[in-house]
């Protein structure tokens, strides 16, 4: 099994998940800025054309970060980052879905259609006219989340889960591209600092992140 890896907040999320699990995997590094992920042979393995992917020993390739983490959790259940009971897993999946649909996908598309346009305009259909609205939707969703985090260490209470890693890697990236967390969101900011102080946060940054000008 190996990770098809690159700079970027999504590959970082899987690296952070691996670090929290105490797992190390061999990896092949692709040049994301140069668009290697949008060409063959990568797109033959992952037609989604995005990073990262997990290549299994039987040759199958799993794309999509959360699907990769679900697979890794099934193979390496401890420490649980999705859950050890049906109830815990359902709670984690509920929050991960809310975070991806309401916050992170809007932040990422807001970036791709504005600051990221030079990189993305030839990779996908971009909607520059939607950028401001998508960023505003993400801000609204973070403001919605803020009171729900009151009194909680993590998004799922006392359990660190993949939901925290998805939101952390995105918001850490976002603050460098003009989408910082609103300083008035006390609970979200305190939650961010808690995740940011974990050794896995620093350890998951790609060695080329500074050169690429991104937290990822
Ligand atoms: N929904 C995907 C998103 C993956 C994604 O957006 N990856 C970025 C890197 S952070 C990427 O590949 N960007 C370059 C591109 O789209 O060409 C997942 O969860 O894996």
Per residue in 85-106, pLDDT (tens digit) is 999 999 999 999 999 999 999 9
Q: Percentage of the chain surpassing pLDDT 70?
A: 100
Nearest alpha carbon to residue 54 among 76, 34, 35, 85: 76
| 89: exposed, middle or buried (Cβ count in 10 Å: 0-12, 13-18, 19+) | middle
Question: Can you say whether the dihedral through the CA atoms of 13, 17, 22, 27 is positive or negative?
Answer: negative
CB of 51 within 6 A of ligand 1: the answer is: yes
Ligand 1: centre distance to CA 150 (Å): 31
**Cα–ligand 1 centroid distance for 44 (angstroms):** 16
Residue pLDDT, tens place only, 9-56: 999 999 999 999 999 999 999 999 999 999 999 999 999 999 999 999
Confidence of residue 144 (pLDDT cuts 50, 70, 90): very high
Which parts of 76-156 fold into alpha helices (H)?
86-99, 105-112, 117-120, 131-148
Ligand 1 contacts CB of residue 8 (under 6 A): yes
Task: State the pTM of this model.
Answer: 0.98
């Amino acid at each position: 099994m190996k990770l098809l890896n690159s700079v970027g907040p999504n590959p970082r999320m899987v690296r952070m998940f691996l670090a929290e699990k105490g797992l190390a995997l061999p990896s092949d590094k692709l040049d994301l800025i140069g668009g290697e992920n949008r060409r063959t042979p990568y797109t033959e393995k992952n037609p989604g054309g995005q990073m990262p992917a997990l290549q299994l020993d039987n040759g199958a390739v799993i794309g999509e970060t959360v699907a990769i983490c679900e697979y890794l959790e099934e193979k390496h259940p401890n420490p649980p980052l999705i859950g050890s009971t049906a109830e815990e897993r359902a709670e984690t999946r509920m929050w991960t879905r809310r975070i991806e649909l309401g916050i992170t996908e809007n932040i990422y598309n807001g970036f791709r259609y504005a600051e990221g346009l030079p990189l993305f305009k030839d990779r996908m259909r971009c909607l520059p006219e939607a950028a401001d609205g998508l960023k505003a939707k993400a801000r609204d969703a973070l403001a919605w989340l803020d009171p729900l985090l009151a009194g909680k260490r993590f998004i799922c209470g006392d359990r660190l889960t993949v939901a925290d890693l998805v939101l952390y890697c995105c918001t850490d990236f976002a603050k460098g591209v003009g989408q910082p967390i609103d300083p008035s969101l006390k609970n979200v900011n305190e939650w961010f600092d808690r995740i940011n102080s974990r050794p896995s946060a620093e350890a998951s940054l790609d060695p080329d992140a500074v050169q690429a000008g991104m937290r990822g």
